[in-house]
Amino acid sequence: MIKRSFIGLTKPILKYEALDVKTPEPTIIQEPKKVSLLIDRTYGFKDTILLKSGDTVKTGQKLSVSENSDAYVISTVTGKISSIETLAGDYGKTFTSVSIEVDENEEIDDQFKTLAAEPTLDSADNFLSGVPGKPSFKIFSDPEKPINTIIVNGVDRDLLVGTNQYVIKSDIDAVKNGVRILKKITGIDNILIAVPQNLMQDAIGGGAQVVTVDSEYPATLPAMMMQSILGQILPAGQSCEDMGVCFLSAEAVASIGTAFEEGRIPSTKTVTFINKDGVKSLASAKIGTPVRDIINAFGVTLNEKDRLISGGPMTGATLYSENFPVLADTDAIMIQDRDNIPFISDYPCINCGECVRACPANVPVNMLVRFLEAGQYEEAADQYDLYSCIECGLCSYVCVSKMPVFHYIKLAKYELGRTTSAEATNA
């Protein structure tokens, strides 16, 4: 954990992880006996369920839970479905978890292979939205929000994480193929690759214009990159897609490239593993591998009351079980020892102004948090720029009172989002 420096006059400086000159070799995590794949649960209670326990699935087979839902997952292994359960995620999201017992004799489903020769947006949308990096193809077919720029993210969103940088360094050819295919299937020519300064040379082989991103947190968050790369300021409350800009991670682009080039759907995810003492290593694991397998592979013991995090230290999400699988967008797995967990407090804001100085979006956090604490979310949004927040978490990081500021902000956005959608339904 990076502590406050002795000289506290300046803003905190948090540098992103810079990958070594030598490309690190990821530890290969053995294929597990059982994988679980998560599907967004979007179907209704009356829908017929297409999967059942005992079904056999092939590697690369498309699994959907219901005919009425277009959510699907691509099986990363061959085997027999052992159970189907519902899992709860953050902010009331639910998943259907499909567990598959792995069969040693792998069989490949060749439905995608026949389509791969002629890449189209449809086949990408139908088979590749669950590849490592989790690209979204829906946004390219939304007529209301035409996309005109794609930014390939060769930088990682959070501190300590090196997954996308590793992809740029080790597999730039796949990225190049991905860029070429993306240009073809989306018809968008304006594709940029964003990398940190030290990967400038590596990224040139990607076949797109290379731009560099500052190495200081939070320069790689989408809103910041919009500003530094494109010179566009993201209007409060809008997403980058609304502005016609789409961010795809380098790993996603590389997966698209590999998929169409080789006619098989990639299923191996690169994960940055961050140890209890902050040591980082790379691992590559099949999507669906339980997180426990990665922890065991590095010989780390996870104790009661430790913290298990999917993602980095500033914006990640905690997992409540080590059985949770590696997902298509799990860029990092981080473990915090129970003795190193900083606790939050119920102290009020003392108005010291640290958050105001740290905020990259100029949000008056000191006032905002007073309204959020009182549950006055609408006033917070109207008067104190709730929607300008780019969700970097620096306010909580510097808070002298140890208030869960970022938590309050996310809660307020969630609650306001619920009211708006309820109003829309009732209208």
Binding of another protein by 393 (CB under 8 A): yes
Binding of another protein by 311 (CB under 8 A): yes
* Residue type for position 151: I
Binding of another protein by 231 (CB under 8 A): no
Q: Which one of the spans 134-142, 145-153, 200-208, 389-397 is the region binding another protein (CB under 8 A)?
A: 389-397
Residues binding another protein: number (CB under 8 A): 86
Contact residue for another protein among 209, 347, 382, 414 (CB under 8 A): 347
Tokens encoding 363: 């949000």
Residues 290, 325 contacting (CB under 8 angstroms)? yes
Residues 103, 82 contacting (CB under 8 angstroms)? no
Nearer residue to another protein within complex by CB, 83 or 114? 83
Nearer residue to another protein within complex by CB, 407 or 418? 407
CB of 92 to another protein, least distance (A): 14
Binding of another protein by 161 (CB under 8 A): no
Contact residue for another protein among 271, 349, 380, 381 (CB under 8 A): 349
Nearer residue to another protein within complex by CB, 196 or 311? 311
**CA contacts within 13 A on the Cβ side of 360:** 22
Q: Which one of the spans 1-9, 161-169, 179-187, 261-269 is the region binding another protein (CB under 8 A)?
A: 1-9
Q: Which one of the spans 116-124, 136-144, 258-266, 305-313 is the region binding another protein (CB under 8 A)?
A: 305-313
Binding of another protein by 236 (CB under 8 A): yes
CB of 146 to another protein, least distance (A): 20
Neighbours of 370 (CB within 10 A): 16
The residues in 237-296 that bind another protein, with binding defined as CB under 8 A, are 237-238
Residues 271, 333 contacting (CB under 8 angstroms)? yes
φ and ψ of 283, to 5 deg: -135, 155
Residues forming a β-bridge with 59? 108
Tokens encoding 41: 């649960």
Residues forming a β-bridge with 195? 212
What is the Cα–Cα distance from 411 to 219, expressed in whole angstroms? 24
Binding of another protein by 26 (CB under 8 A): no
Instruction: Please choose, from the candidates 188, 74, 212, 53, the residue with its C-alpha nearest in 3D space to the C-alpha of residue 131.
Output: 74
**CA contacts within 13 A on the Cβ side of 18:** 12
The residues in 91-150 that bind another protein, with binding defined as CB under 8 A, are none
Binding of another protein by 314 (CB under 8 A): yes
